[in-house]
Amino acid sequence: MKFFVDTAVISEIAELNELGMVDGVTTNPSLILKSGRNILEVTKEICDLVDGPVSAEVVATKAEDMIAEGRKLAEIADNIAVKVPLTWDGLKACKVLSGEGRMVNVTLCFSANQALLAAKAGATFVSPFIGRLDDINIDGLQLIADIRTIYVNYGYETQILAASIRTANHMSECAKIGADVATAPAAVIKAMANHVLTDKGLAQFTADWAKTGQKIL
Ligand code: E4P
């Protein structure tokens, strides 16, 4: 499973990138706001840092305006994936932008039917939002599994980009289901390293080592 980082903060991306943990980046208007940066400038910096796809989201709601914004965002770098919302207009924009050979990430997907439409419109990625479904007591992971089944049934090449990931457990569950990509905040990716028994075992080894009176260096 590929790891994308869900942030527009350069330092967070750089730290994970040094460890080879970054296969791509996703941003959205809320994350641009949080970064305090200009969208065109920060997206360019991210594209210079990361080799994989960098999603940059349109903000228009009409297809023709989304297409114009998408073309402008795609000029930033070759690794831009234009992010469009899963609306009827967004699907129209997806069809046109994909037809021009651009990567398109269809975002704000909350149902299997929406994912089916995204695949038919030629999306490179579809982004089902796990956490926001969980927030309203709908099983977000089940949606990832349903989309996996549908895409396998018909051989769709659209990649499932599991999004709105809130916990390290979401990451391993997505990998078990077979999501192509999971995008998560840097803190969630780092939290994947944590285990209470690792902490306990390390404390024991450190205490016992001190009793030996030895040194390695
Ligand atoms: C995905 O591309 C979105 O940017 C993101 O995963 C949304 O996550 P949130 O629901 O935590 O805002």
| Residue of the CA atom closest to atom 5 of ligand 1 | 164
Answer whether 79 contacts ligand 1 (Cβ < 6 A).
no
Q: What percent of the chain has pLDDT over 90?
A: 100
Phi, psi of 8 (to 5 degrees): -120, 20
Please say whether the beta carbons of 115 and 109 come within 8 A. yes
Q: Which amino acid is at 89?
A: D
Structure tokens at 9: 């903060």
What is the reported pLDDT for 12?
A: 98
Q: Are 174 and 140 in contact (CB under 8 A)?
A: no
* Residue pLDDT, tens place only, 171-215: 999 999 999 999 999 999 999 999 999 999 999 999 999 999 999
pLDDT tens digits, 122-131: 999 999 999 9
- Ligand 1 atom closest to the Cα of residue 4 is 2
* C-alpha distances out from residue 11 to 18, 57, 171, 209, Å: 11, 21, 22, 36
Given a contact cutoff of 8 angstroms between Cβ atoms, the answer to whether 151 and 186 are in contact is: no
Rg (CA), the chain: 20
- For residue range 127-158, what is the model confidence (pLDDT) as tens digits? 999 999 999 999 999 999 999 999 999 999 99
Single-letter amino acid code for the residue at 70: G
Label residue 1 by pLDDT band (50, 70, 90): very high
pLDDT bracket for residue 29 (50, 70, 90): very high
Average pLDDT, integer, range 51-67: 98
Q: Hey, what amino acid is at 33?
A: L
Mutate to test the pocket of ligand 1, among 164, 167, 189 (most ligand atoms within 8 A of CB): 164
CA of 60 to the centre of ligand 1 (A): 18
What is the rounded CA–CA span in Å between residue 30 and residue 11? 18
Distance 6 CA to ligand 1 centre (A): 7
Closest CA to 158 of 86, 78, 70, 58: 86
CATH top-level class of 2-212: alpha beta
Amino acid, single-letter form, for residue 187: A
Is the beta carbon of 127 within 6 A of some atom in ligand 1? yes
Our answer to whether residue 72 is catalytic in this structure is: no
DSSP class of 167: S
Residue 132 and residue 140 in contact, taking contact as beta carbons nearer than 8 Å:
yes
Q: What is the pTM of this model?
A: 0.96
Mean of the pLDDT values across residues 160-173? 98
CB 204 within 8 A of CB 183: no
CB of 129 closer than 6 A to ligand 1?
yes
